[in-house]
Chains A and B, each alone.
Chain A
């Protein structure tokens, strides 16, 4: 079976965000859709916009949640999948750069 390659999650440039004292608010500027993040999700968002790679984010999550590395990795995966489902992120397969498989957010 061939290796499907990494899944690349993209955040569109039309998503803007602001960090408030108790939450992070995100707005998709074209649709006006908005989301509010708190807890580990807000931490993941902070690290993503700082362009941290997945393995470093997993390290942070493991420390934050006091969980083993595997559980933290699962948590990151599930957060990213959830964000994809609600349209905050789009996915493309393969590494680096936009693919034809993306969903616009």
Chain B
């Protein structure tokens, strides 16, 4: 299938959307946004008027895209480079590392956990060797609705918690901070582990809320994993606050539960300490089983 890219003239309506919403940061993501044939033009449009840009990339970007980003002022550009574990593809890892080195402080390494046997300590060496931002953006791989992507099943969360704590403690020793992405849940950590995370200055927001992405067709989605679940049209008067409250209202019935069967009665949730994990993983728990049942009518009036 041919790749589809955003038409450059359609970036303006997205920038207007952000301006109406009072936001000065533009996030470019994909797919891989740096593969856009007019990437440099998009970057220029996005940062015009002093807006800050954040690019989410796999770090395997074309040289012209790398040159473009590496020339931007550090204050105006953040590139979150999602790095693979070196044992997955050594070649990719060395390319990602080189990209991060070129971008310097503009680059923030990201790491997505999708298998329980992950190892992320290599990121500490990577940060020391490349001079990039001393922050690791740590995420859990969440399922899209079809479940066709690689993701970490909620039943495996407990298994990764210990490693996360170990990583946070090792990171803190070299003044590296962990930044947690959405969908972490309170019950994946014991109280002791949580205390260790706090001591390592790693603070997690136990949240899943509408991130709001605008797709290629101009539809606003809750987030990538829920792209097929629901969307709203990007109208000329829409703001992010309106969209967020609309998504919150539409997803409220599903948020009565969470990723686990015990979520709806969970004391952490009742105390506002956890929102029940990733909504996409929650929605995937719901079943659709239409049925019919016949009751003899003659006795109906007897009630």
Q: Give chain B's interface secondary structure class.
A: mixed
Q: Which of B57-65, B99-107, B217-225, B255-263 contacts A (4 or more CB under 8 A)?
A: B255-263
Interface membership of B75, Cβ < 8 A: no
User: Is A20 part of the contact surface with B, judged by Cβ < 8 Å?
Assistant: yes
Docked pose: A33 CA to B256 CA in angstroms: 12
A34 with B290: CB separation less than 8 A = no
Is B173 interfacial (CB 8 A cutoff)? no
Contacts of A14 in B (CB 8 A): 288
Cβ contact within 8 Å between B261 and A6: no
User: Judging by beta carbons under 8 Å apart, are B298 and A4 in contact?
Assistant: yes
Known: A6-B296, A48-B291, A78-B303. Is A22-B265 also a contact (CB below 8 A)? yes
How many inter-chain contacts with C-beta < 8 Å in the A-B complex? 103
Residues of B in contact, count (CB < 8 Å)? 30
Complex contact A77–B299 (CB within 8 A): yes
- Kindly state the separation between the CA atoms of A78 and B301 in the bound complex, as whole angstroms: 11
- A43-84 to B contact mask, C-beta < 8 Å, 1/0: 000001101011001000000000000000110111011000
Interface of A is mostly: mixed
B270-303 Cβ-contact flags toward A at 8 Å (1 or 0): 0000000000000001111111111111111011
Please determine whether B295 and A19 come into contact, CB atoms closer than 8 angstroms: no
> What separation, in Å, do the CA atoms of A32 and B251 have in the docked complex?
8
Min CB distance B287 to A, Å, is: 6
Q: In whole angstroms, how far apart are the Cα atoms of A77 and B296 in the complex? A: 10
Interface: B264 (CB within 8 A) = yes
Decide: B303 and A81 in contact? CB cutoff 8 A.
yes
Task: Flag if B290 contacts A11 (CB, 8 Å).
Answer: yes
Q: With A4-B298, A20-B262, A25-B264 in contact, is A80–B288 under 8 Å at CB?
A: no
Whether A86 sits at the interface, judged by CB under 8 Å, is no
Name the A residues within 8 Å of B287 (CB-CB): 16-18, 49
Smallest CB gap from A33: residue in B: B253
How many angstroms from the CA of A25 to the CA of B287 in the assembled complex?
Answer: 10
Q: Is the CB of B293 within 8 A of A17?
A: no
Q: Mark B19-39, 1 if CB is under 8 A from A, else 0.
A: 000000000000000000000
**Extra 20 A-B pairs, beta carbons < 8 Å, given A11-B289, A18-B286:** A4-B298, A7-B295, A7-B296, A7-B300, A8-B295, A9-B292, A9-B293, A11-B291, A13-B288, A15-B288, A18-B285, A18-B287, A20-B257, A23-B264, A25-B256, A34-B256, A53-B294, A77-B295, A80-B293, A80-B295
Q: List 21 A-B contacts (CB under 8 A).
A: A4-B297, A6-B295, A7-B294, A7-B296, A8-B292, A8-B295, A9-B295, A10-B292, A11-B291, A15-B288, A18-B287, A21-B261, A32-B252, A34-B256, A48-B293, A57-B293, A74-B302, A74-B303, A77-B299, A77-B303, A80-B295
